[in-house]
A and B are shown apart, each in its own frame.
Chain A
Amino acid sequence: DGGITQSPKYLFRKEGQNVTLSCEQNLNHDAMYWYRQDPGQGLRLIYYSQIVNDFQKGDIAEGYSVSREKKESFPLTVTSAQKNPTAFYLCASCYRDRGHSSYNEQFFGPGTRLTVL
C-alpha cells in the first residue's frame, strides 16, 4: 500500500520554537518537495530535493530548513526565523524521469496544518 505520509496532521507551536514536520514516501520516488499553502493562494515551493543528500531552495526558503538523508524521507524544520509560519504544509514526491509513458506527476501527502500561538 504505497503512498506519502505526513505527520502530524495538526500541529501547534509557541512563538520562538522550532518544529519539524515529517514526510515519508514508499513509492520509490526520486524527487521530493515541500509547499506552503495560505488561504486564497496557490502552493508555494519551499525546498525540493531531486536526489539523496542534495536539496535546493524554492521560492520561499527563508526561515525553513530540510534534510534528505534517505530516499524515503524529507523532513522540514520551521525555525523561529520564519515570520508567518501558520499555514498548511504539503509534501509531494515524483519520479525524475520515467520516459514518455509517464507524466512524472507529483503525488501529495495529506498535509500538516501548523498553527503558531
Chain B
Amino acid sequence: GQNIDQPTEMTATEGAIVQINCTYQTSGFNGLFWYQQHAGEAPTFLSYNVLDGLEEKGRFSSFLSRSKGYSYLLLKELQMKDSASYLCAVRDQGDYKLSFGAGTTVTVRA
C-alpha cells in the first residue's frame, strides 16, 4: 500500500509563491501526479513526475526525489483562481492504481 502525507492548509498572498510538499512511503512506484480540485468539482491534472528532478509547466513546477520519497508542487505568481485543493497521488507499478493524499487547501488572499 501507499502512505501519502501533505499539509492540510496553506495561505499565501496574490503574486507570491507557495510550495506544497508531499511525502510518500510505497510498496511500488510508477510515477507521482499532482491534481488541482476546486470545491465541488472534479480534480484536473497538473503535473507528472516519474524521474528525479524538476518539471516546469508555466506557473506550476513539480519536483521529485524517489530516494527520499518526496515531491513538491511550486505555484508561482499566485492568482485568486489558484485557491483550490491540491492532491498528491502516487501510482502503483503494474495495475495503474492511484493512491491519493488528503489534499492541501490553498487560500490566496488579495
Contacts and interface: CB of A to CB of B under 8 A. Distances in A.
Interface of A: 31, 33, 35, 40-45, 48, 50, 56, 58, 88, 90, 94, 96, 103-111, 113
Enumerate the 7 nearest inter-chain pairs by beta-carbon distance, A residue then B residue, closest first. Answer: A42-B100, A108-B42, A103-B48, A43-B100, A42-B102, A105-B45, A108-B43
Q: At the interface, is chain A mostly helix, strand, loop or mixed?
A: strand
A94 B87 contact: no
Most chain A beta-carbon contacts within 10 A, residue among B8, B98, B103: B98
A66 to B, nearest CB: 15
Contacts, number: 55
B109 interface: no
Contacts of A113: 40
A104 B31 CA distance: 10
Most chain B beta-carbon contacts within 10 A, residue among A33, A41, A88, A103: A103
A105 B48 contact: yes
A110 B41 contact: yes
B87 A42 contact: yes
Interface residues of B, number: 22
Contact of B44 (A45, A58, A108): A108
30 contacts: A31-B96, A33-B98, A40-B8, A41-B102, A42-B100, A42-B102, A42-B103, A43-B43, A43-B87, A43-B89, A43-B98, A45-B97, A45-B98, A48-B95, A48-B97, A50-B95, A56-B95, A58-B97, A96-B96, A103-B33, A103-B45, A106-B45, A107-B45, A108-B42, A108-B43, A108-B44, A109-B42, A110-B41, A111-B41, A113-B40
